[in-house]
Structure 1
Amino acid sequence: MTPEIVILAMIAAFLGLRLYSVLGRRAEHEEEPIQGRFEGRQGQPGAPRVPAPPRTEQRGDGRDDARARAQLGQGLREMPLASSAVERGLAEIAQADRRFDAAAFVEGARSAYRMILEAFWKGDKAELRQLCDSDVYAGFAAAIDARIEAGETLDNRLIRIEECTFVSAGVESGYARIGLRFRADIAAVTRSAEGVVIAGSLDDAIEVIDIWTFGRAVNSPDPDWLLEETDEG
């Protein structure tokens, strides 16, 4: 092999590595596509709901419980493993509500996470009122009011949800609660009334870990789960 060919090969390899490096970094920061919105409560757009399969006929001979466990197992197979206590709680919910599907719930919760964050960032109280229970809504509304009073606005962006896993689940007195741990990348910027950036950057996303608890009455005809508690992971 001539020296000229060796030199050309080295140059080609160098350019290839540089191109791979650039494309790799770009892919790491691509924004996660925004998922479609769920049908709202009572036909109104905007409220998240956990889609579930049609209600099955109840027989009262034990086969319903077995079907609920099988349905739950099918939903969990493609998801990160949960603790045995969480799995028991999810099975209780599936037995109490035949429409419940664990995988579909996580899909809906991921959409709800994005919708609630974006509504809070925009200061959309009407949207938040549909998505949260009264206590959580009051907390969000107070924070929005304080932000408005300070003349500040948020220019935040949810880049991607890296992880969404169960941390708690169960039924008590006919009311189901499910806790989820979200690990997400968020680009956050706070601007003054003049539009000047006073905190954060859209160029560098930060990792955020939230634990959100959703709840609903298992015998309610309304399939919507409301956000009833927020905490940092």
Structure 2
Amino acid sequence: MFYIVLLAMVAGFLALRLYSVLGKRTGHEPLPKPAEERVGAPVAPRTIDATPEQREPTAKPFEAGAENGVRAIIAAEPGFDVSRFVEGAQGAYRMILEAYWKGDESVLNDLVEPRVAEAFGEAIAARREAGQTLDNRLVSIERALISGAQVNGRDARITVRFDADIAAVTRDGEGNVVAGSTSDAVETHDVWTFARTLRSDDPNWKLADTDEA
């Protein structure tokens, strides 16, 4: 399957926004996998030399309470692939955080819903007024797991919990560190909800809500 994975995107691809990454198919892949596979039924890791005895099943990429919602989304849009969605969500998490830290509102407007963009914009404006900049770095995403999913008509929402390590530093106008540490990463637990209208011409899932776990 040929998916556009946001984690591998660079600035030149930002105009594509979240096209085809959060669970959509491009049309050049094989026929859809069985539903059991697409909701995360255990499959063997893709290793070249492993024997059947050496292969171990992988865990489902969602919590038990989200399974009915995930199945409802697949039923409404058979091209949806939950594992690919989680991969793309991790890329979106990184891209949105980095855009916010840099104060790049044009990128944020493409990736998040208007209400979220407004909140981000207010925080960015306050930071600029204070003469401060963020020198943050996403060190690693330890886990990304779908914790909730629902469909209301054609409107779908998927909530993902991200457990990540972030090095967070705030600098003043002269570059001095006023908060955070340049060497220590902070363990963070974020809960983000992505939304999209199923079977629409727009394939993009956008960030609709953020919270802390």
TM range, smaller chain: 0.7 to 0.9
Report whether the alignment pairs 1:72 with 2:42: no
Report whether the alignment pairs 1:95 with 2:75: yes
Deviation at 1:46, TM superposition (A): 5.3
Show the counterpart of 1:221: 201
Show the counterpart of 2:140: 160
Scaled by the length of structure 1, the TM-score of the pair is 0.74
Show the counterpart of 1:124: 104
Q: How does 1:98-117 map to 2 (within 5 A)?
A: 98-117=78-97
Coordinate RMSD, CA, aligned: 2.7
Show the counterpart of 1:52: 24
Deviation at 1:112, TM superposition (A): 0.2
Letter aligned with residue 47 of structure 1: R
User: SS of 1:89's equivalent?
Assistant: helix
Letter aligned with residue 101 of structure 1: D
Show the counterpart of 2:154: 174
Alpha-carbon separation, structure 2, partners of 1:101 and 1:83: 16
Show the counterpart of 1:190: 170
User: SS of 1:108's equivalent?
Assistant: helix
Which has a greater percent of helix?
A: 1
Deviation at 1:159, TM superposition (A): 0.3
Deviation at 1:53, TM superposition (A): 3.1
Deviation at 1:75, TM superposition (A): 8.0
Deviation at 1:223, TM superposition (A): 1.3
Deviation at 1:221, TM superposition (A): 1.7
Deviation at 1:47, TM superposition (A): 1.4
Q: Is the 8 A contact 2:42 2:60 kept in 1?
A: no
Letter aligned with residue 171 of structure 1: V
Which of 12, 36, 51 is matched with 2:8 structurally?
36
Unaligned runs of 5+ in 1: 1-33, 56-63
Alpha-carbon separation, structure 1, partners of 2:110 and 2:155: 19
Higher relative contact order (CA 8 A, sep 6+): 2
Q: Is the 8 A contact 2:99 2:105 kept in 1?
A: yes
Deviation at 1:186, TM superposition (A): 0.4
Deviation at 1:73, TM superposition (A): 3.9
Alpha-carbon separation, structure 1, partners of 2:95 and 2:65: 29
Unaligned runs of 5+ in 2: 1-5, 44-56
Q: Is the 8 A contact 1:75 1:101 kept in 2?
A: no
Show the counterpart of 2:190: 210
Letter aligned with residue 71 of structure 1: R
- Report the CA distance shift for 1:221/1:228 in structure 2 as closer, same or farther (over 3 A): same
